[in-house]
Each structure stands twice: as structure tokens, then as C-alpha cells.
Amino acid sequence: MSPIVLVCLICAIIVVAAVLGRSFHRGQDIEYPEKDPDFRLFFRIGIAFLVIGIICLVLAFTSDLAFLTTLPLFIIGVIYTALGWNKRDTWRKHD
């Protein structure tokens, strides 16, 4: 793998982590009863895994990175995004 590709991958992961960290921190000060999971959080985590999974899959197809090691990231992203989107009517309104 070339150094440019590795640097781009690391930068993409840092950007996704920063955006997620900001979005998680924004809703942290609100108190909710702990009876149902926050499906908006599932959706956000799923989108992050999708982005990282797609980047890794593109790298796997264009370089010597193993395809089977990056596929689970994409699959987890699809599952979490679908779960969060399916339950979007129960998202907590705190923004």
C-alpha cells in the first residue's frame, strides 16, 4: 500500500471520528429515562461504519489490502443504519 493511500485512510477515519464525537457530545447533557435504546445513536454509528467500510473497500479493490478484512465494517454499517432508520419514529427529539 502506498504511503499516500495510508495517509488518506487515516485522515478519513480521523474526520469521521471527530464528527461522531461532536454529535455524541452534543446530546450528552440531556437526561432521559433508560427504558429504550437510542436508535438515533445506532443510525449515527451505522453511518460511520458505512463510510469507513466504503473507504476500506475501495482501498481493498485498488491495492493489496485483503477484501475479507474490510467487508465486516461495511456489513455492520448496513445493519446498524437499517436498524436505526427502521426505528426512526422513536428517535428522541433533543436537537
**Region 63-92: what's the mean pLDDT?**
84
Backbone angles phi, psi at 28, to 5 degrees: -80, -30
For the chain, what percent of residues have pLDDT higher than 70? Answer: 77
The two counts, helices (H) then strands (E), for the chain are 3, 0
Q: How confident is the model at residue 94 (pLDDT cuts 50, 70, 90)?
A: low
What predicted TM-score, i.e. pTM, was given to this entire model?
A: 0.64
Q: What is the pLDDT of residue 35?
A: 65
Distance CA 68, CA 85 (A): 26
Domain range annotation of the chain = 3-30+38-90
Q: How confident is the model at residue 93 (pLDDT cuts 50, 70, 90)?
A: low
Q: What is the pLDDT of residue 78?
A: 92
Distance CA 51, CA 68 (A): 17
State the cell numbers at 42: 445506532
